[in-house]
Amino acid sequence: MGQGGAVPAIITLTTDFGLRDAYVGSMKGVILFIHPHARIIDIAHELPAHRIFPAAALLREACPRFPPGTVHVAVVDPGVGGRRSPLLLKIDNRFYVGPDNGIFGLLLQDLPFQGAWRLERSEFFLNPVSRTFHGRDIFAPVAAHVAAGIPPEAFGPPTPHPARLSLPPYREETGVLSGKVVWIDHFGNCITNLTEKVISRWAGESTFTVHAASRKIAETSATYESTPQGEPLSLINSMGYLEISCNQDRADRILGLREGDRVILRKGETDHSRDGLA
């Protein structure tokens, strides 16, 4: 427990740093030096290096599950030291600290945005600030100060338009909806840029098939076990995106799918019901 028996402030860490090097440990040390009573939670540190969408999707899934007031630090930052700004955001009564590169884009898309501030007040940073490790020198100390009760406006000026997430555009033609694989997860599931909302609007009451890597999948399933083991399927995953999977196997390997490959939906090719869609 913190001072006076209060519940400790929660700070989460999400990075692509891995766990073999000193990076994550250094950030934790900085946080605890400033705020010894903070409770640090690791969400993930094995995200694909330099890839914004997988990080944004993970944050959208995990971070809203934490209590209001939690401070979430997210560092997948291929532009570190460059033109992108370091940022503090408040979204749905939780704080987010990290680069302004779209990493918080899915949270901004789906949840109430309550403000964003550029991190410019160097008295809240480590000194000197490395050009290559803002996670340690800017984001970790700012998160500790926020958790300790420093108000957001103390860190720098407000910015009304934090970076949104840019996914590859989907295409609609007569009877056809075309998307792309944008991420392949730990299980080999191939996540596309097609959301349940987009598919439902496009399909209406029509049935359709899903075409991926020369395979035709006759219906959208509700669960992974809807097909025999090792067989491909499509479903709407827990984040609301169309996913190409294989029951207890890797869809990327079984189908030969890679990030950037097209996934095409065609109306009227099957009379199967669309179990997985609202």
Q: Give me the percent of the chain exceeding a pLDDT of 90.
A: 85
Do residues 73 and 175 share a domain?
A: no
Q: What is the CATH number of the domain that holds 113?
A: 3.40.50.10790
Q: Could you write out the DSSP letters of every residue in 211-226?
A: EETTEEE-SEESSGGG
Q: Is the pLDDT of residue 275 over 90?
A: no
Do residues 134 and 179 share a domain?
A: no
Do residues 214 and 92 share a domain?
A: no
Distance CA 192, CA 188 (A): 13
Q: What is the CATH number of the domain that holds 214?
A: 2.40.30.90
Residue range(s) defining the domain that contains residue 129: 3-155
Among 74, 72, 95, 70, which Cα is nearest to 152's? 95
SS3 sequence of 81-141: CCCCCEEEEEECCEEEEEECCCCCHHHHHHCCEEEEEECCCHHHCCCCCCCCCHHHHHHHH
SS3 sequence of 133-165: CHHHHHHHHHHHHHHCCCCHHHHCCECCCCCCC
Distance CA 112, CA 166 (A): 19
Q: What three-state secondary structure class fits 23?
A: helix
Please check whether residue 150 is in contact with residue 77, taking contact to mean a CB–CB distance below 8 angstroms. no
Distance CA 94, CA 274 (A): 36
Mention every residue, 6+ apart, whose C-beta is less than 8 A from residue 105: 52, 56, 163, 164, 165, 166
Q: Is the pLDDT of residue 274 over 50?
A: no
Q: Could you report the per-residue pLDDT of 121-177, keeping only the tens digit for each? A: 999 999 999 999 999 999 999 999 999 999 999 999 999 999 998 888 999 988 999
Position 161 in a domain? no
Point out which residues pair with 158 in neighbouring strands: 117
Name the domain count of the chain.
2
Position 88 in a domain? yes
Among 120, 122, 91, which Cα is nearest to 104's? 91
Count of H helices and E strands in the chain?
7, 15
- CA distances (Å), 192 to each of 10, 122, 163, 179, in order? 32, 40, 21, 7
Do residues 140 and 7 share a domain?
A: yes
- What type of residue sits at position 44? A
Name the pairing type of β-strands 241-246 and 232-236: antiparallel
Distance, C-alpha 121 to centroid of its chain: 27
Position 274 in a domain? no
Q: Is the pLDDT of residue 92 over 90?
A: yes
Do residues 104 and 183 share a domain?
A: no
Do residues 144 and 175 share a domain?
A: no
Mention every residue, 6+ apart, whose C-beta is less than 8 A from residue 173: none
Instruction: Map tokens 């997430």 to a residue.
Output: 165
The larger pLDDT score, comparing residue 223 to residue 89, is at 89
What mean pLDDT is predicted for residues 203-207? Answer: 91
Q: Could you report the per-residue pLDDT of 209-244, keeping only the tens digit for each? A: 999 998 999 878 889 998 999 999 999 998 899 999
Predicted pLDDT of residue 272? 43
